[in-house]
Amino acid sequence: MAIPSDPKLDGFDVLQTNFKHVGDHPIRADILVPQKPHAGKRPVILHFHGGGLVFGDSLFMDFWPHWLSDLALAHNAIIISPNYRLMPEGTSAQIYSDIEDFWTWVHSPALAGLLASHSTSTELDLDRILTAGESAGGLISIYLALAHPKEIRSATASYPPVDIGSDDYRLPRARPCFGHHVPESAFHDEESAAEIGTARSSIAAPSRLTYMLAALEHGKLAEVYERGSEGVPREVLYPMLKLEQPDVGIPVGGIAVIQGRQDSVVPMGGAERFVERAKQVTKGLPGNEGVVFTVRDGEHGFDGSARYSEEWLRDTLKVAVDTWVK
């Protein structure tokens, strides 16, 4: 994908590279390096894009929150935003495999060498990692934070579908996404056209977005998510189950979750239940203070144009950010 021209990328050099190949299919990561000179290692933001795990791209600016760019520039942090295999061609199990391979690559000499050879040589501070993501990307952000709680300082997630196995994603909805009905045939047409078993990791076609909305409206997303997951521990797929593991831990800076009250794509209840349970199971543990749930009036993606200077956002992220950069 060509690097888009967008104000959200102002102030960054954007490097593009492949962190993985599946057969002959490359999976890309985009690296945003602040242009402002910086002495020493830079803190790191790992960003994961949304799109229902079926749509999107690591630099899809329509989904990218402006406040994330502001946050990185405020702290001279590098943002690394990867693609990952998308469903239904791929499986949820393959997505999490890609994310783990991405995590390994972030710590690799290959990435360190790429950044060292940049026009302004720069180095990652891998002791200061914050994860972020919107919608399905928020689910991945939380997954990674729970999988590597001692190596990630803080996590954020905007309207994450953490209960993707619930009836919200299994049963037809009375209220369609964004108030616009999508026929069930849009789901079946895209399923029929998909080359199941191939690797696709960047899709911006409008028909795939329609497929996602149809899957949600007609209660099909959980079915797609669970395909091919046989043998994968359930706690990998479902963060609510991960919280029930006896060795559960969270980053020392906690997990800050943002949610729109009128969200018709990811209903508020799932994130609310996740945060409540996370607070319960981590009581007395490092990171508990940073488990935060902020609800604002707004639809899905309501924070896309929000700026980090807004008081509500700074308050929501205060513990996460202070812990990340200290």
Domain limits for position 64: 7-163+234-325
Residue 73 lies in a domain: yes
Distance, CA of 308 to CA of 156 (rounded, Å):
13
Give me the helices (H) in the chain, please. Answer: 66-74, 92-106, 109-116, 136-147, 184-193, 206-217, 221-226, 234-237, 239-242, 268-281, 311-325
Residue 181 lies in a domain: no
Residue 213 lies in a domain: no
Number of domains in the chain: 1
pLDDT band at 120 (very low <50, low <70, confident <90, very high): confident
Residue 220 lies in a domain: no
Q: What is the pLDDT of residues 247-299, one digit of tens each?
A: 999 999 999 999 999 999 999 999 999 999 999 999 999 999 999 999 999 99
pLDDT > 90 in the chain, percent: 95
Distance, CA of 276 to CA of 271 (rounded, Å):
9
Q: What is the pTM of this model?
A: 0.97
Residue 209 lies in a domain: no
Q: What residues pair up with 241 in beta bridges, in sequence order?
A: none
Residue 39 lies in a domain: yes
CA distances to 9, 78, 178, 206, 230 from 5, rounded to whole Å, are 7, 19, 27, 20, 42
**Apex CA 9: angle with CA 34 and CA 115, to 5°?**
35
Residue 186 lies in a domain: no
Residue 189 lies in a domain: no
Q: What is the pLDDT of residues 174-185, one digit of tens each?
A: 999 999 999 999
Q: What is the DSSP letter of 186?
A: H
> Is the CB of residue 145 less than 8 Å from the CB of residue 256?
no
Can you give the CATH number for the domain in which 117 is found?
3.40.50.1820
Q: What is the pLDDT of residues 94-117, one digit of tens each?
A: 999 999 999 999 999 999 999 999
